[in-house]
Amino acid sequence: MFLRWMVRDNKTGVDFGIWKTHSPAHLHCPLDVHSGNVARKLGILKRKQNDWKALVELDTTLRKFDKHDPVKYDFALFGLGVFEKF
């Protein structure tokens, strides 16, 4: 999460974007119980465990959606799981 906040330049005020030498394209989406469960329900993650292999699988899918900033989907996945009980 810290890297996301420092690297991503988000105009909405969520991320700081002060580390200009790093690219959001190199970040990995944080994988927790909420984002993993939502990703599985959406069919973008097949692996049952939340481990490194699952992270690689999720990253591969998210990079197909946006190779320049795949982490931008993190809050949507997390929020659907926590706030919407998806």
CB atoms within 10 A of CB 52: 10
Residue 12, pLDDT score: 67
pTM metric for this prediction: 0.81
Token pair recorded at residue 69: 């900033």
pLDDT digits (tens, 9 = 90+) for 14-40: 777 787 888 889 899 989 999 999 999
Burial 13-42 (b: 16+ CB within 10 A, else e): eebebeeeeeebeebbbbbeebbbbbbbee
